Amino acid sequence: MNRKIGIAKVFILVLLVVTFLTGCGGNDMQSENIVSPEDDLNNFSKIIGEENLDGFRLIIYYMNPFILTRMPLSVDNLIYGITAINEPPREKNDVNGLYEQKFVITGSQLEEHIDLFTQIGKIDLIPVEKESYINVRIYYMFESEKDGKIFDVALWGGYDENSMFVNGTEVKENAVFYEAILPFLPENYALDLKNYIAGIWPGVSE
């Protein structure tokens, strides 16, 4: 009986070791395939430096950043709306989104600001010290006919600092990601965004 228990213990030990080693190997393989947000931005910078922008689109979903909501909004909430508990699941269609305006910028409009876009690939993204939740008011993405979505930005994180999410990774605020969309917003929308960034609340003069 004791001999059987000893064999069982050895078998379990061997199984645990094999599982551990396999897990380590799997993690190594995954880490080799991870694409960082910096890689995505560098790739974007290279693409727009080598090609014309006829096949590119910048899509912006905009909600006034001063609007308060009962709960933090995800990107899906902003773009597709919120499905009530008693509602059947709805098809993802941005017609039902909570955003105020959707802007689609293409071709020649983008080419006018190509110098600004090339700066995106040169910035250093700084991870936040403490990760938070997303509470988005403005979301935008660059996509091309050839490669689909290249990268996206969601504004903002839910803690005190104005963190932002670049391709899903929360990083510290960087003015380049504001400058990338300001030229394409109507004047009143751009002013609201600038005032929000500066901490100027509506009705309060500078």
Contact 38, 125 (CB under 8 A): yes
User: pLDDT digit string (tens) for 138-158?
Assistant: 999 998 888 788 889 999 998
* Residue 59 pLDDT: 96
Using only the alpha carbons of the chain, give its radius of gyration.
23
Average pLDDT, the chain: 78
Q: Give DSSP secondary structure letters for 20-89.
A: HHHHHHHHHHHHHH---HHHHHHHHHHHHHHS-STTEEEEEEE--TT---SSPPPHHHHHH----TTSPP
**Residues near 65 by Cβ (< 8 Å), separated by ≥ 6?**
137, 138, 155, 192, 193, 196
d(CA 3, CA 204) in angstroms, rounded, equals 82
* Adjacent-strand bridge partners of 105: 58
From 114-123, 147-156, 165-174, the region with the lowest mean pLDDT: 114-123
User: pLDDT digit string (tens) for 184-205?
Assistant: 999 999 999 999 998 876 655 4
Mean pLDDT of the 47-68 span: 84
Terminal alpha carbon distance of the chain? 85
Exposed e or buried b per residue across 42-66, where buried means at least 16 C-beta atoms within 10 angstroms of its C-beta:
eebbebbeeeebeebbbbbbbbbbe
From 9-13, 136-140, 202-206, the region with the lowest mean pLDDT: 9-13
d(CA 155, CA 162) in angstroms, rounded, equals 8
Q: Is the pTM for the entire model greater than 0.85?
A: no
Domains of the chain, residue spans: 1-34, 35-198
